[in-house]
A and B are shown apart, each in its own frame.
Chain A
Amino acid sequence: MKYIDEYRDKELVGKLIDQIKKVSKKSIALMEVCGGHTMSIQKFGIPILLPDTIKLISGPGCPVCVSDRKYIDQAIAYARIEDVIITTYGDLIRVPGSTSSLDQEKAKGVDVRIVYSILDALKIAKDNGDKKIVFLGIGFETTAPSSAAGIIKAQMAGIRNFYLFSSHKIMPPAMEALIDEGVKLDGYIAPGHVSTITGIGIYENIPKKFGLGCVISGFEPVDLLKAILMLVIQIENSDQKVENAYTRVVKPEGNIKAQQMLDEVFELRDDWWRGLGVLPKSGLKIREKYNDFDAETQIPVQVEPTREDKGCICGEILKGLKNPKDCGLFAKVCTPSNPVGACMVSHEGSCHAYYKYNRD
């Protein structure tokens, strides 16, 4: 398969591994921020190929995992309103709220529909003029532009029964907060899709303020190993900086059009992250001028008190302080069919990735 096989080439992978082994002297811990990276690393079985000097830690880059349980509770509360249809990406549907999940509510008869794009949600709004359509906007800089585009499109088309419930967040504050929290890290494998939108400038603070290297990576084995090699070279030479190992997709300036849309629709707000608490200016709130499309201001709702599960260490795992296998619930009480925490539900969650590919 073109554009895939080249990046899964066994010989090339072997060469990269040899080079990494040759260069790597210091024992280091690298964090893959993005959940997609975690999944690829486990799926391709990369850790076993790396020398003992390199430890990979999963980071907070799974949007479903870092979202507040209160967000799910509120989505469920919207779903229970008679004339509301919830539209969502599939990942969110099985995430446990305090006492229920969207999946369980769906089984009880509320209208929850999985969509592949916000445009499908707009179509549902158009076809159901007497209902309120709430789209669960979740994700980082990668998916937030499509939510912005959806709102702009709804306004242009005069669709008045469409609402976004935003949990969108941006990546850099979490990356900085982790270092502030004292997580022992030597460098970041920076997210490829986020960077496609934002460009590479957003990571400048990381080497400047914290002295850590940051290499943007794609999602295939060759991409990841190239990024790891570049980080190892930076660290061995004490030359920490932002570098791009995903140049075939990520442009230095990013996607300007998407950035403009983001800025048009959203403004920054303080937001809560699982494991990290409230991080200043880390969430995306709908701007006043698009208030008519903001579920939070337009659809009043009573939300049940949030209850966190005891024993779930998702927060520590998201910070990279613990590994899924350190959790007492992992693979015993908490499994993909009976998830306790969001990290076990989302396909990008570290617990899910470890359960699926690295459980032994």
Chain B
Amino acid sequence: MLNIILDEQTDAAVLEINSNKLSFTTDSFVVDPIFFPGGDIGKLAIAGTVNDVAVSGAKPKYLSTSFIIEEGFPFKDLEIIVKSMAEEVKKAGIIIVTGDTKVVNRGKCDKVFINTTGVGELPQKYSDIGTGKSIKPGDKIIINGTIADHGMCIMAAREEITFTTDIKSDCACLNHLIKDALNVSDQIKFMRDATRGGLATVLCELAERKNFGIEINEDALPINENVRGMCELLGFDPLYVANEGKVLIVVGKEDAENVLTALKENELGKEAAIIGEVVGEHQGKAWLTTGIGGRRIIDMLAGEQLPRIC
């Protein structure tokens, strides 16, 4: 693919930007194993950063990629990873404008680590989406599909689990899906991708120290049966398990159905659902109505549920 900026071969990329606000983010990827059903560390490194930019309301434009590679890492594996990054970048409609590669001695890193940094153009009208400043009671909470797929996929792909499953990571770039949602509503008040710490962590962070509370309906949460089964078996709460292709959207209630319909028309939002709402009560806290009609709080996860999932 033609990449004019990279082809200039300058030390620093020179970028054109059409907005006066930038969205800017960086993330490092150390997932273990590096290949897993539904993706690999390369795809994850692109999607993770693209999604962080996109959920701020910005249009992702440029990416940097930086590799730290363990001496002796097979070239063919590197090739697969780079190809998968190229494919993902193409799908997302963005370009990689700068990069770096370092090789370290054996044992100084584990196979390959990748850092990506992303820049996007943020239209003025979306500048509150990242913080959720304009959220108010009555707003609806939407998720674009099943939760906990990525974390359980990685868990199953780890060597210590001796049973096999058909669980696939949900790893994907969400920028087009998010654009679909923004196109049908100017009432989107907040978006966040529910990665490490899962949906519960996003909900807790959203409510924390705010003058509103959150109500979630357990029955409405989309979850694949195989993922639910594995969570039950291993004692994981799917609310806390990582996703890599899920965005939580808070939208004004008049627009909720429109946004839901727009999401469902996209392949990555087929199983989107309204899972709860913003309320005036129990400010600063997220509550769950359980499947049997009981009630409990949703709390922050203490410690790490599973290391090196992204």
A-chain residues with CB within 8 Å of residue B296 when the two chains form the complex = 42-45, 357-358
Question: In the assembly, what is the distance between CA of A294 and CA of B285, in Å?
Answer: 49
A-chain residues with CB within 8 Å of residue B289 when the two chains form the complex = 45
Nearest A-chain residue to B295, judged by Cβ: A45
Q: Is B74 an interface residue (CB 8 A)?
A: no
Q: Are B294 and A347 in contact (CB under 8 A)?
A: no
Q: Nearest chain A CB to B104's CB is how many angstroms away?
A: 21
Q: Nearest chain A CB to B208's CB is how many angstroms away?
A: 13
A-chain residues with CB within 8 Å of residue B237 when the two chains form the complex = 43
Q: Are A13 and B282 in contact (CB under 8 A)?
A: no
Q: Is B225 an interface residue (CB 8 A)?
A: yes
Nearest B-chain residue to A356, judged by Cβ: B299
Q: Is B293 an interface residue (CB 8 A)?
A: yes
Q: Are B294 and A46 in contact (CB under 8 A)?
A: yes
A-chain residues with CB within 8 Å of residue B228 when the two chains form the complex = 1
A-chain residues with CB within 8 Å of residue B302 when the two chains form the complex = 335-337
**Binary flags per residue of A1-34, CB closer than 8 Å to B gives 1, else 0:** 1001000111001100000000000000000000
Q: How many residues of A contact B (CB 8 A)?
A: 29
A-chain residues with CB within 8 Å of residue B124 when the two chains form the complex = none
Question: In the assembly, what is the distance between CA of A221 and CA of B218, in Å?
Answer: 15
Nearest A-chain residue to B160, judged by Cβ: A116
Nearest B-chain residue to A344, judged by Cβ: B302
**Binary flags per residue of A32-76, CB closer than 8 Å to B gives 1, else 0:** 000000000011111111000000000000000000000000000
Q: With A116-B160, A337-B302, A347-B235 given, is the CB distance from A360 to B294 under 8 Å?
A: no
Question: In the assembly, what is the distance between CA of A47 and CA of B296, in Å?
Answer: 10
B-chain residues with CB within 8 Å of residue A94 when the two chains form the complex = 303
Q: With A1-B232, A360-B282 given, is the CB distance from A336 to B303 under 8 Å?
A: yes
Q: Are B292 and A10 in contact (CB under 8 A)?
A: yes
Instruction: Using CB atoms and an 8 Å cutoff, list the residues of chain B in contact with chain A.
Output: 160, 225, 228-229, 232, 235, 237, 282, 285, 288-297, 299, 302-303
With A43-B296, A336-B302 given, name 17 new contacts (CB 8 A). Answer: A43-B290, A44-B290, A44-B291, A44-B292, A46-B294, A49-B292, A116-B160, A120-B160, A336-B303, A337-B302, A337-B303, A347-B235, A357-B296, A358-B297, A359-B297, A360-B282, A360-B297
Q: Which 4 A-B pairs have the closest CB atoms?
A: A45-B294, A336-B302, A357-B296, A45-B296
Can you pick out 5 interface pairs between chain A and chain B where the beta carbons lie within 8 Å of each other?
A8-B292, A45-B290, A48-B294, A336-B302, A357-B297
